[in-house]
Structure formats: structure tokens, C-alpha cells
Chains A and B, each alone.
Chain A
Amino acid sequence: KAGVTQTPRYLIKTRGQQVTLSCSPISGHRSVSWYQQTPGQGLQFLFEYFSETQRNKGNFPGRFSGRQFSNSRSEMNVSTLELGDSALYLCASSGTGQGGEKLFFGSGTQLSVL
């Protein structure tokens, strides 16, 4: 069974640009969640999608958005990039996204904003 796939693996952008990251969950998983990981703040929850609907949202500005498609694949978009957006962006999938359920993480997209 294929794991969670995130593309691209690395990305370099400049301030003010926008970026789209992609996540393909494990087959059959309907919940996809996104996280930002930085050395200073650790893993911070961005949002979670289930059956194409955003079900939960973390405390991030509106520049961070996402969506989920009917095949459960998900994308997240960051507009008007800032230097502080440099981070490892991880997505995770699970069957239902219920509390305590096992999360399967991808290897992440390392975003550098110059």
C-alpha cells in the first residue's frame, strides 16, 4: 500500500509570491490534515479536510488556504509569501480524522522563502 505522497519535495520562492503544495493520501483515507513545522514553534496544525470539506482550522492567517478533491487528494496554497513562512509543510492522512486515530505523514515539502 503506497504511503502519503507530497510534492514537490523542495521549493524556493521569493517574498510576495504564492505557492501550491500537493498531498496524495493513502488509498481509502478520507481525512487529510496539514501542518507547519519550524524549529521554533514545532508542529502547528493548519487545517483538516474530510470529504472535500474543511472540518477544522488552526490559527493561521487567511493567506493559508486549502482544498480537497473528490479523490481525497489535497492541496494547500500560501499567497503573498513572507520570510516567516519558511518551514517544512507536512500533510497526514487518516481514515476518518477522529481523535486518537493514527496519522500517516508524508515526507513533507521544505519551503524556503527568500
Chain B
Amino acid sequence: TQLLEQSPQFLSIQEGENLTVYCNSSSVFSSLQWYRQEPGEGPVLLVTVVTGGEVKKLKRLTFQFGDARKDSSLHITAAQPGDTGLYLCAGALRGGSYIPTFGRGTSLIVHP
């Protein structure tokens, strides 16, 4: 059983569309991170959220941490081909030694 469930697993959309990616768990996290990974490269950190209910914006990307700190979402407005990649969420469990848990990722393709 995956501790962090991401959905959808795959997403193929046209340039200009909006999309939301979800990261859910039954566990409480002290912080949650979103990474983007492009083919042939390692993941690159986009954002870290630490407070329940927190919303962070990075240009066209909006990240939200659930009130109970068990889930998070990533919303992309007006997607562009440059947004193509694998989006990974990763959580640090509350109260434990830091062993990061990653979701399996959402593979996004944005067609021009």
C-alpha cells in the first residue's frame, strides 16, 4: 500500500487547459513537497507546504495543503508545453525520523 496516493496517474491535455493533481494519504505529515521531474533528469523542488490550509502560488501553479495535513493539490492554470513532466509529491511524517515518502507521480503531457 502506497502511503501517498497521487491521482490521476496520467494526464494528456492541450495547451491552455487547466488541471489539478491530487496527493492523498491517511497519515498526517509535518510538511509536504511537490517536485517536477523531466525525462533523463532528477526531480526539482517546486514548493514546500507546512501549515494546514496553506496555499502557495508559483506563477501559474497553485499548491494547497489540506487542513488536516493529510492531502495536497496542485492546480495549473493555462498549461503550457513546458509544464510537461512527472509531478511528485513527497511527505515528511509527523513525529518520526525523517524518511521521505514519495507518491508514484502524475505524468503530465501538454500538447501545443
Contacts and interface: CB of A to CB of B under 8 A. Distances in A.
Contacts of B105: 42-43
Interface residues of B, number: 25
Nearest to B2: A42
B88 A107 contact: no
Contacts of B84: none
A36 B42 CA distance: 11
Given A105-B42, A105-B43, A100 B92 contact: yes
Interface string A51-68: 000011010000000000
A107 B41 contact: yes
B40 interface: yes
A45 B99 contact: yes
Contacts, number: 61
Interface string B85-112: 0001010110001111111110000000
Interface in A68-114: 90, 92, 97-100, 102-108
A42 B103 contact: yes
B24 interface: no
Contact of A56 (B33, B42, B43, B98): B98
Contacts of A105: 42-44
B100 A45 contact: yes
Interface of A: 4, 33, 35, 41-45, 48, 55-56, 58, 90, 92, 97-100, 102-108
**9 A-B pairs with least C-beta separation:** A105-B42, A99-B92, A100-B31, A42-B104, A43-B102, A99-B98, A102-B45, A56-B99, A105-B43
12 contacts: A42-B104, A45-B100, A45-B102, A56-B98, A58-B99, A97-B98, A100-B30, A102-B45, A103-B43, A103-B45, A106-B42, A107-B41
Given A42-B2, A56-B97, A100-B33, 17 more contacts: A44-B102, A45-B101, A48-B99, A56-B98, A58-B99, A92-B42, A98-B98, A99-B92, A100-B48, A100-B92, A102-B45, A103-B33, A103-B45, A103-B100, A104-B45, A105-B43, A107-B41
